[in-house]
Structure formats: C-alpha cells, structure tokens
Amino acid sequence: MTILFCSVGRRAELLKNVRKSMGKDGRIIATDMTNTAPALYFADAYHVVPAITDPTYIDVILDVCRKENVDVISTCIDPEIMLLAKHREDFKKLGILVLTPMEETAKLCFDKYCMYCYLREHGIPTVQTYGDLTSFENAYTDGAISFPVFVKPRTGSGSVGARIIHTIMDLQVAFNTEPDLIVQEYMGNALDLDADVYIDTVSHEVVSIFTKQKLETKIGGASKTISFKDSKLVEFLINSLKPFSFNGPIDVDVFYRDGRYFLSEINPRFGGAYLHAFGAGVDFIQMIQQNVNGLANTPAFMAYEEGIAMLMYDSVVVCKV
C-alpha cells in the first residue's frame, strides 16, 4: 500500500506509527506547502505543493498521486477535508481511496453550528449552542443559560480562538471583533473525553473505537490522556454516528456529565491523539490496508487495556532542506 498524507505539518509521530504498522511493505508519501514541515522527513518521498487555497492545488495533488502510484489519500488538517471530499471522483478514477467523509458530512463537521443543529435534529445529546449573539442574549434573558460560557469560531480548527467568557459585556466585545463566533454552554464540570473511531470504507460500519479521558490539552489537542472502557459509550457512539456518512478514521470529542454522554465535535481525520490508540494496540493502518484490498474489517471494540496513559513531549528534526 502507498498512502499519501497531505498537509503533514508536525505530524511526524503519526507517520512513524504508519511506518511501524506497514513495515517495509508499504510506502508513505507526504506533502506540505513548505519544506520545513518536520513530518515530511519521515516519509519515503515528499512533495512541496501550493497552499490548499491555490486553484491548481488539486491538479498538483493528482499529479503526485500518479507519479507515486498512490492507493489511499488522507489529510492532517481540517480545512482540506472538504476539498478532498469534493474531488472524491477525481481520485476514484485513479483507483485511490479517499479517507474523508462524503461531502455533506464533511460540511457538517467543518461548520460547528450546522453540526449542532444536525445533532439536535437527530435527537443526539450535544452541548447547548447559539449561532449568534442575539439568540444567546434572548436565552440569557430567559434564564436558559448562564455565565461562564465557551466561545469559538464557527468554522475554526485546532481550538484557535476558543476561550471562556465570564460576562455579557465581554461577550459583546468578542462578537464585535469576531462576528462569526458560536456560544456554547460551559462544560467545565464534565469529564472531557475523546474517541478514535474507524468507519470501514467497505461495510460503512463502525468497526473500532478507542476511548480516552483528556488529562491535559495544549495547542488545540490532548497532550495527556488515559484509556478507559465503557460499553455504554461504545453504544452511544455507534448510534450517534449512524446519521453521518464517514469514511475511515475520525476523532470524536465527548463530554460526560450526570450519567449522560454529550457529543461535542467530530474531526473526520486521524486525531492528534490517535498516537495513544496506536500505542495501545488499535491499528487503523491495518484496517485501511484491509479496505484498500476491498475487504471489510471485523468489528472489534474495547480491544485494548484500560489505564494506559499517553504523555506527549516535544522532539526535533535536524536535516538539510
């Protein structure tokens, strides 16, 4: 299998895990818009490409796929997910499996307020969310929500701009400078959880779930986590994901409060803390290989140990560029 990871940035450990899983039988290709992206140097071959906003971007990536005989393509950044989903048929013509959701599901995942509305429409417990200042102020006046609240950009990624706000005056100031915010109920008294989930690209069923509690978060992702098992959470996730059309690995943020689970966000790509799942023996790369071969994976849930911790630390790449 030859797998292409686009926009690899700092995801060096992910590529190292892919190499460990595939051994010498597979090839890793990586792209980024600059040759100083550290993860490029853990691939078998890399290509410097335009920014994803460049009108030639997809043509360049298709050329990379032809040159490197790519079998499967994925991306490491949220804004590119929609782009790859939109051009799925172009890659399919080359026999390439695209590890992104279908286009409509990709749109929902990128727009956090649309995702909230969709979850509510399907009766899936989620975090109370307001799409504009006026609707929040009305709810606040009616006593339906109180401070503190949590705000973040409607279409942001990597937790950029996400923060706690304590007063109505501060919230109004925030909206004056960033009108595209959403306001959410603050879940500070809930357990902050994360799940790495694999949706089989042949059977289109959830076949693997790895769950962990976040112990520490830095730069928009969990930096310390610990594994746990709960059959009720597995059931919650399987049922909650049914209304969507995912394809491959996804990362799901969940809160647990007062005996109930609440789905928060879904990132339809390898999560930044998938490293924990792989280290605990949950190998999505082998599942991808099975799907590339046209075979469905057998569902296997809670096939790992509880109490296994992931503790991230910084490292460096020293190389000639």
Start-to-end CA span in the chain (Å): 27
Please, which pLDDT band fits residue 217 given cuts at 50, 70 and 90?
confident
159 pLDDT more than 70: no
In angstroms, the CA 283 to CA 277 distance is 7
Q: What is the pLDDT of residues 23-40, one digit of tens each?
A: 988 999 999 999 999 999
Share of the chain above pLDDT 90, in %: 94
Nearest to 2 by CA among 52, 86, 67, 79: 67
The alpha helices in the chain, defined as continuous H runs, are 12-22, 57-68, 78-86, 88-92, 103-110, 112-121, 133-141, 168-177, 231-241, 274-279, 284-292
Please, which pLDDT band fits residue 219 given cuts at 50, 70 and 90?
low
Of the two residues 198 and 158, the one the predictor is more confident about is 198
Residue 108 buriedness (CB in 10 A; 0-12 / 13-18 / 19+):
buried
Please, which pLDDT band fits residue 154 given cuts at 50, 70 and 90?
very high
Nearest to 238 by CA among 291, 299, 283: 299
Whether the CB-CB separation of 76 and 7 falls below 8 Å is answered with: yes
Q: Helix, strand or coil for residue 101?
A: coil
Question: What string of DSSP letters covers 164-224?
Answer: EE-SHHHHHHHHHH-TTEEEEE--TTSEEEEEEEEE-TTT-SEEEEEEEEEEEEETTEEEE
Q: What is the pLDDT of residue 54?
A: 98
Q: What is the pLDDT of residue 275?
A: 97
pTM listed for this prediction: 0.96
Q: Are strands 129-130 and 181-185 parallel, antiparallel or unpaired?
A: antiparallel
How much of the chain is helix, strand and coil, in % rounded to 5?
35, 30, 40
Q: What is the pLDDT of residue 221?
A: 79
Q: How far is CA 299 from CA 22, 96, 121, in A?
A: 21, 24, 28
Mean pLDDT (the chain, rounded): 96
Angle of helix 112-121 versus helix 103-110 axis, rounded to 10: 110
Whether the CB-CB separation of 208 and 301 falls below 8 Å is answered with: yes
Whether the CB-CB separation of 280 and 227 falls below 8 Å is answered with: yes
